[in-house]
Amino acid sequence: MKYTVKVIWNKLPEESFIDNKYSRLHQWNFDGGIELKASSSPNVVPLPMSDASAVDPEEAFVASISSCHMLWFLSLAASQKYIVESYSDEAEGIMNKNLNGDMAMTSVTLKPIIKFIGSNIPSFEEINDLHEKAHKKCFIANSVKTEIKIIQS
């Protein structure tokens, strides 16, 4: 399987570039047709060179882990005949120095809130089991060194 994203950046005419004071605003074009405004994080590169209204790579990283986990969780819940009415997650990534002293996303915490309906409602332990299985199946989680925690409410 192959996945593609086109990333496009252009220097603005008024920017010298070599002074390192250029806009980090760029565009992500996904193969399905979605275009997103992207930028460096204002936590990494100060405003106005970053655009706080755009998606930054660190946010996208956390979102991809959360989304992958959710999709597997939903699939596993459906296979167990549990009806999920809603799933939301306010995932959080922590940037810190890793063991080599390099800046890295060292941990991501998922905080899913899941609402089940119907007569077949899983227990706390069964939900935990679904999370463990989803984590093991998540392609993104299997691709990174970042510690991923799941806090079930």
Give the gyration radius of the chain's Cα atoms.
19
Instruction: Identify residue 3 by its one-letter amino acid code.
Output: Y
Q: Are residues 49 and 117 in the same domain?
A: no
Backbone φ and ψ for 32, nearest 5 degrees, come out as -85, -5
Phi-psi region of 91 (alpha: psi -120 to 50; beta: other; left: phi over 0): beta
What number of residues does the chain have? Answer: 153
The residue among 18, 34, 55 that closes a domain is 55
Structure-block tokens of residue 40: 């460096």
Sign of CA dihedral 120, 126, 131, 135: negative
Q: What is the pLDDT along the chain (153 residues), one digit of tens a residue?
A: 999 999 999 999 999 999 999 999 999 999 999 999 999 999 999 999 999 999 999 999 999 999 999 999 999 999 999 999 999 999 999 999 999 999 999 999 999 999 999 999 999 999 999 999 999 999 999 999 999 999 998
Predicted model pTM: 0.94
CATH number for the domain including 85?
A: 3.30.300.20
**Integer Cα distance of 36 and 52 in angstroms:** 13
Q: Are residues 46 and 61 in the same domain?
A: no
Provide the domain limits for residue 67.
Answer: 57-150
Total domains, the chain: 2
Structure-block tokens of residue 73: 């969780």
